[in-house]
Amino acid sequence: MSIDLPIRKIIHVDMDAFYASVEQMDNPKLKGKPIAVGGGGKRGVVSAASYEARKFGVKSAMAGNLAQKLCPEIIFVRPNFERYSEISKRIRAIFFDYTDLVEPLSLDEAYLDVTKNKKGNPSASLIAKEIRDRILNEVGLTASAGISINKFIAKIASDYNKPNGQKTVNPEEVLEFLEQLDIRKFYGVGKVTAEKMYQKGIFTGLDLKQKSLEYLDKNFGKSGRYYYYVVRGIHNSEVKPHRIRKSLAAERTFSENLSSEVFMLEKLEHIAQEVSKRLNKSKVAGKTVTLKIKYSDFTLQTRSKTLPYFINDKAIILETAKDLLYQEKLNNSVRLLGISLSNLNTEKKKKPVEKEAISVQLKFEF
């Protein structure tokens, strides 16, 4: 077996209820109260919920009226993304005091590779604690962290002791940790896949580990190989400071449901304009146009078309979106439309995953 597996110390930092926590920090009257960032009522959607609201079952992407039913005392706050971005930049500045290998996933989470760090500290766990303390003292917010040998395990670990905690999965603990893990905790296993795994008797990492590569390929397609390796602690994805954008999108939720394609054309034109503007600003183009349709009953449908050439022009994006809109009859009235462009000219072909031993990694001190 190969012993060429890269030796890494990875931290995943995840801010606690970030949007809601920023609002509570900026408005002391909201501290300790159940709040939801987003819109209430029939048309609103929850973007983020404070921990006080989560106790009642309120969560992101939930309809505002349902959140209100679950938590009658909930307070809705309009999102302020400029403020969230400002705070996020301050937090990332702290990360860069420790390493230049910082890969942001969103405004509120990031991976850090501290294998070689600017502080010369050999302990990734102590670095994570120091970073969390600095975020609390310098910014005023709490963060949680996961620390382990790769991004996959670090991300799972960061959710263990939330809020305001951290978990280290030491090299010698990796295999046992993954074997005991509920399959729903595996990053990359969604609700539908979890149900499919349950039906096949796969409930834990150990159950998954007992399935052959051939079995997983047959039953889970391209993802089967990914599951085969990650449950063995093999995940070689590097922390990429400059993540390659894979798609670019814009969408709109309407104040009233739209029941006819005719009424949607003007909306699509504005959305296509926004997508084109963002593409040109980022100096990228794409081949695959996807139309996102969310119906009044909250069911979601996507329709895609791949062109033989790269585009970023509003007119072509709009015409393709129109074709997709008329591709088939709408199932219901529509509350949201979105257009995204993927298969961008920034993407590189992925190398196939190679089987590598983790024997060296398991001897590495944390």
Largest CA distance in the chain: 64
Are 15 and 141 in contact by the 8 Å Cβ rule? The answer is yes
- Tell me which amino acid residue 234 is: I
Look up 109 and say whether it is catalytic. yes
Taking residue 148's Cβ as centre, other Cβ atoms within 10 Å add up to 30
Gap between the Cα atoms of 88 and 80, Å rounded? 13
Gap between the Cα atoms of 90 and 268, Å rounded? 36
Q: Which helix (H) or strand (E) holds 236?
A: none
Active-site entry in 109, 172, 195, 356: 109
Buried-state track 41-60, b at ≥16 Cβ within 10 A, e below 16: eeebbbbbbbbbbbebebeb
Q: What is the DSSP string of 313-329?
A: -HHHHHHHHHHHHTTS-
Active-site residues, by number, are 109
